[in-house]
Structure 1
Amino acid sequence: MAEASISWAEDQFCCPVCLDLLKTPVTIPCGHSYCMSCISDCWDEEDWKRIYSCPQCRQTFTPRPVLGKNVVFAEMVEKLKMTRLQSAPAVHHTGSGDVQCDSCIAIKQKAVKSCLECRSSYCQNHLEQHDNLFRGKGHNLMDTTGRLQEIICPRHNKILEIYCRTDQQCICMLCLVDEHKNHDTVSTAAERKEKQ
């Protein structure tokens, strides 16, 4: 039962932007809460419009609301962290070969999926939050890998699944049809097999 209440509390005090427990929590005029840095970053991107919106409900505000720390939420988050430290189930902790969830803070849980667009790996709880936030937005999930940054094209956010023999580097499908169009290429699997 304690585990269920901790999970519920985590959901209540989780930032919908970074999917982590609130850091310097602030509540904006519509009632939704965010990390101060997360909502500030969102609003910095909207600064040119001079109209600021809630990432969850899309309610707009003008002028930009002044943000103040929600001390009640901050205290609750600290208590939640302490409770989580004391009662987190050992079965979900990461082992030596496991990929850790990038969103967990106090105790890193075992990641179950990685998102190519976010370049992050998520435990089951944070994966559900990610899915709720980015459903229908084209985020591609894959099995977890500790080398996520190494297998993603920094230009196109796609998996590096082609090896360009001309330039001697791994590329994605979009690179292949763009700047590597007439180069000598093979799949990365074929190149690996040939080199072994």
Structure 2
Amino acid sequence: MAESISSNEDLLMCSICLDLLNDPVTILCGHNYCMGCINGCWDQEDQNEIYSCPQCRQTFAPRPVLNKNNVVAGLVEQQRKTRMQAASLALCRPAGPGDVECDVCTGRKLKAVKSCLDCLVSYCETHLKVHNDIHPGRKHSVTDATCQLQERICPRHKKAFDIFCRTDQSCICYLCMMDEHKGHDAVTAAAEWADKQKQMGKTQIGFQQIIQEREKELQELKKGCGDSQEFCTDSSGGQ
């Protein structure tokens, strides 16, 4: 039954919002819509007092009364559950070539979804929930699963590189700021990344402007060469 519903998911989609039907209603021509979506469309047609189906354009007057289609709503709810189950299975699938393995799984390793820079451990979806339950009041630095955990940890203090020292142009941890980087110009790594992205954007715009100017000069040069050839042809014909 679930496979049948999944294969016909497009029949349970609203053609207005392009998502699964929410409070589905079936209008007189037989097409299904979210109650909010079709009401929104018809609110715009109130002035003409003629209401149409967005798909087949059949018109109705007066405005039809809309009631939730409970049968379709039941099918949509089953489809939502099928989607959630598929997503859960995708997150809990065994690690394959190129995937980061969960360090906590015993036996067959599942694919890790996150890595903790404080614990230096990568977790699958199930063990990540356990990790978060164990540390409810303490925020650990959790990032997308990576096999390069050691490269993101300060070898001296065993803390995450979450600070960028602009004086030395290097990534450091917050404990480094208290000794060898004390008094240096430092910002959070996130702030430095955002600033670099902004600078790169400006640089890219500058390059685009230069390219446009060069293309304009090239077009003018081609036009000049074309005018010169035309002048030479006219002169030869005149002789």
- TM-score category by the smaller chain? 0.3 to 0.5
From the CA coordinates, give the structure whose radius of gyration is larger.
2
- More helix by proportion, 1 or 2? 2
- Give the TM-score, by structure 1 length: 0.45
Structure with the greater relative contact order (CA < 8 A, sep ≥ 6): 1 or 2?
1
- Give the TM-score, by structure 2 length: 0.37
